[in-house]
């Protein structure tokens, strides 16, 4: 077969170019440390590398999420720790204020400190994080969690949504807790009230405090079901208790009908998870049986407080003020759990809707207002002043007193301490009730905060475990990427030497052969 000079030169150029390209690629692999420069170098390996790099990106994001979650939880923990300290101090002051030797001025001084604690806690609840977002507003991070109302009470303005971050393929961690879940859901231990029914005048010789709930289960299943109760003292050492149906339940109390009116600090009567403090002040010259016998007290659950608000868009000046439950059975069966909205379709006709209102909401009740000044619906009677106009609306909410906001607890304590009680047995009893309520509810709020702090600690531990897992995965990922994509220096160096030798040989042979001529053979 004949090979032309042009064909030889073309073949030599192609071979030389390939050898040079192979040598250059090997040199690049050695200098960069990367074996796979393009997908064509190793299609299967390049595909695996792409998957590993994508996994690495996801792991980096999870790691960043863990850092963000830890920062949020640490900020919340720091605030809650300060709140706990403040509430513990408030509890100490409430106990101190119970000292009978204190004057009204002494208690007012304590009330001043309680006011400072209240303002401190209020500020802490409205804390912002480093990004300027509120910690305790749920998902409404630009809305201040708590606001002060004109009547001195406090309202939560956030929502009940917990934010969370994904920290693994299967695990997401809550990065915040709402103010509502921590502070508005603290159990109200003072959800009962005591009223002296006989004699009608409070003289301070025997008093029974409002109850302090010690067992939520017993209260819900037993006390609330058969209240109100009638507590009657038959002598200086005996009492009887009857329920709403007239049944004698004395044997269900802790003392079984016996108490000690001389006991230092007063005695207690406990019934169905509620404890009442009994204090007596019988002069030594009086006969205790004669003085105390026949005194009767009504023990019952605090009735729901019904509040109303008119919408700003109302065109009339009509007002609907606080209602009262006048039909307990209808109220229990028909009043919406989340509150109601009363909407007038004329000056007399109205409809009642359950909150929250949607486009598909249908009225749960309707009626006609007769202009008498009272309106009764769903077992509640409201006071109405003025004449409503068409489309006037009034929102209605019910406070069941099952929970109490810690800010309201502090506010009520401050008000009680600033109220004079000198030479006023009724005011002194009211103060004792307020102090007992404050101590119980402050402890309840503290317990709620402690539960949340425990949850934060558990989430922090989960994040620590996940951090270790991610670090292990990142190390394995990096190792695998190195094994697939990094250059084997020993092998590459040997290959480069061989390629350089072949390139040099090709250069020499080309130079020799290209100089040959047929005349050289003659």
Map residue 55 onto helix, strand or coil.
helix
pLDDT reading at 204 higher than 70: yes
pLDDT score, position 75: 94
pLDDT band with cut points at 50, 70 and 90 for residue 345? very high
Element (H, E) at 26: helix 5-32
Q: Give the pLDDT score at 267.
A: 92
Once rounded to an integer, what is the mean pLDDT over residues 39-65?
73
Average pLDDT (426-440) is: 91
Q: Kindly give, in sequence order, each residue whose CB lies less than 8 Å from that of residue 196, ignoring residues fewer than 6 positions away.
A: 202, 207, 208, 295, 296, 297
Q: What pLDDT is recorded for position 358?
A: 87
Instruction: Report the C-alpha gap between 5 and 9 in whole angstroms.
Output: 6
Query: 283 pLDDT band (50/70/90 cuts)?
Result: confident
The pLDDT of residue 488: 53
* pLDDT bracket for residue 351 (50, 70, 90): very high
Average pLDDT over residues 77-85: 96
Report d(CA 337, CA 32) in Å as an integer: 69
* Token pair 């064509």 in the structure block, residue: 40
CB neighbours of residue 23 within 10 Å:
19
Q: Look-up: residue for tokens 């598909």?
A: 360
Confidence (pLDDT) at 506: 62
Give residue 516's pLDDT: 55
> Would the pLDDT of 34 be above 80?
no
pLDDT band at 278 (very low <50, low <70, confident <90, very high): very high
Model pLDDT, residue 503: 60
What is the band of 356 on the pLDDT scale with cuts at 50, 70, 90? confident
What pLDDT sits at residue 490? 59
- What is 384-436 written as a DSSP string? EES---TT-EEEEEEE-SSB--HHHHHHHHHHHHTS--TT-HHHHHHHHHHHH
Tell me how far CA of residue 115 lies from CA of 142, 147, 375, 416, 418, in angstroms.
27, 16, 39, 12, 10
DSSP states along 139-171 = T-TTS-SEEE-TTS-EEE-S-SPPPEEE-SSS-
Residue 444 has pLDDT above 60, yes or no: yes
What pTM was computed for the model?
A: 0.76
What's the rounded mean pLDDT across residues 263-280?
Answer: 92
**pLDDT of amino acid 338:** 85
Instruction: For 246-307, give the DSSP string.
Output: S-B-GGGBTTTTB--TT-TT-EEEEETTEEEEEEE---TTS-HHHHHTTEEEEEEEPPPEEE
Quick one: pLDDT band at residue 392, thresholds 50, 70, 90?
very high
| Beta carbons of 136 and 145 less than 8 angstroms apart | yes
């Amino acid at each position: 077969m004949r090979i032309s000079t042009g064909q030889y030169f073309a073949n030599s150029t192609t071979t030389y170019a390939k050898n040079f390209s192979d040598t250059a690629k090997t040199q690049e692999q050695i200098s960069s440390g990367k074996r796979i420069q393009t997908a064509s170098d190793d299609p299967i390996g390049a595909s695996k590398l792409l998957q590993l790099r994508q996994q690495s990106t996801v792991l980096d994001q999870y790691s960043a999420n863990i850092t963000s979650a830890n920062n949020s939880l640490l900020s919340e923990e720091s605030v809650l720790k300060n709140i706990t300290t403040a509430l513990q101090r408030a509890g100490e002051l409430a106990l101190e204020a119970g000292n009978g030797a204190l004057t009204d001025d002494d208690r007012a001084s304590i009330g001043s400190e309680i006011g400072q604690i209240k303002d401190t806690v209020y500020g802490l609840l409205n804390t912002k994080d480093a990004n300027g977002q509120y910690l305790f507003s749920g998902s409404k991070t630009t809305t201040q969690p708590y606001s002060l109302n004109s009547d001195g009470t406090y309202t939560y303005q956030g929502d009940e949504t917990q934010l969370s971050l994904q920290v693994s393929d299967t695990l997401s961690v809550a990065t915040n807790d709402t103010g509502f879940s921590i502070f508005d859901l603290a159990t109200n231990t003072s959800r009962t009230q005591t009223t002296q029914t006989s004699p009608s005048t409070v003289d301070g010789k025997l008093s029974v405090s409002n109850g302090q709930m010690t067992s939520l289960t017993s209260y819900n299943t037993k006390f609330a079901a058969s209240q109100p109760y009638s507590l009657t003292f038959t002598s200086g050492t005996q009492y009887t208790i009857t329920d709403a149906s007239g049944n004698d339940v004395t044997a269900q109390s802790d003392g079984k009908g016996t108490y000690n009116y001389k006991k230092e600090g007063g005695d207690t009567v406990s019934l169905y998870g509620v404890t009442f403090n009994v204090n007596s002040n019988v002069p030594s010259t009086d006969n205790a049986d004669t003085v105390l016998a026949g005194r009767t007290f009504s023990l019952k659950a605090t009735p729901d407080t019904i509040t109303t608000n008119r919408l700003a868009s109302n065109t009339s000046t009509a007002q609907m003020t606080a209602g009262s439950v006048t039909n307990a059975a209808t109220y229990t069966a028909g009043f919406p759990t989340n509150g109601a909205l009363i909407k007038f379709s004329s000056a007399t006709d109205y409809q009642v809707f359950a909150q929250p209102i949607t486009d598909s909401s249908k009225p749960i009740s309707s009626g006609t207002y007769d202009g008498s000044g009272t309106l009764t619906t769903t077992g509640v009677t409201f006071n109405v002043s003025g004449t409503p106009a068409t489309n006037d609306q009034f929102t209605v909410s019910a406070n069941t007193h099952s929970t109490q906001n810690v800010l309201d607890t502090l506010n009520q304590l401050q008000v009680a301490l600033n109220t004079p009680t000198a030479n006023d047995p009724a005011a002194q009893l009211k103060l004792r009730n307020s102090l007992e309520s404050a101590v119980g509810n402050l402890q309840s709020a503290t317990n709620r905060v402690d539960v949340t702090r425990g949850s934060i600690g558990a989430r922090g531990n989960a994040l620590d475990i996940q951090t270790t897992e991610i670090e292990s995965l990142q190390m394995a990922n990096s190792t695998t990427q190195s094994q697939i994509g990094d250059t084997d220096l020993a092998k590459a160096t040997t290959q480069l030497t061989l390629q350089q030798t072949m390139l040099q040989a090709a250069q020499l042979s080309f130079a020799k052969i290209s100089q040959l001529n047929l005349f050289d053979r003659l």
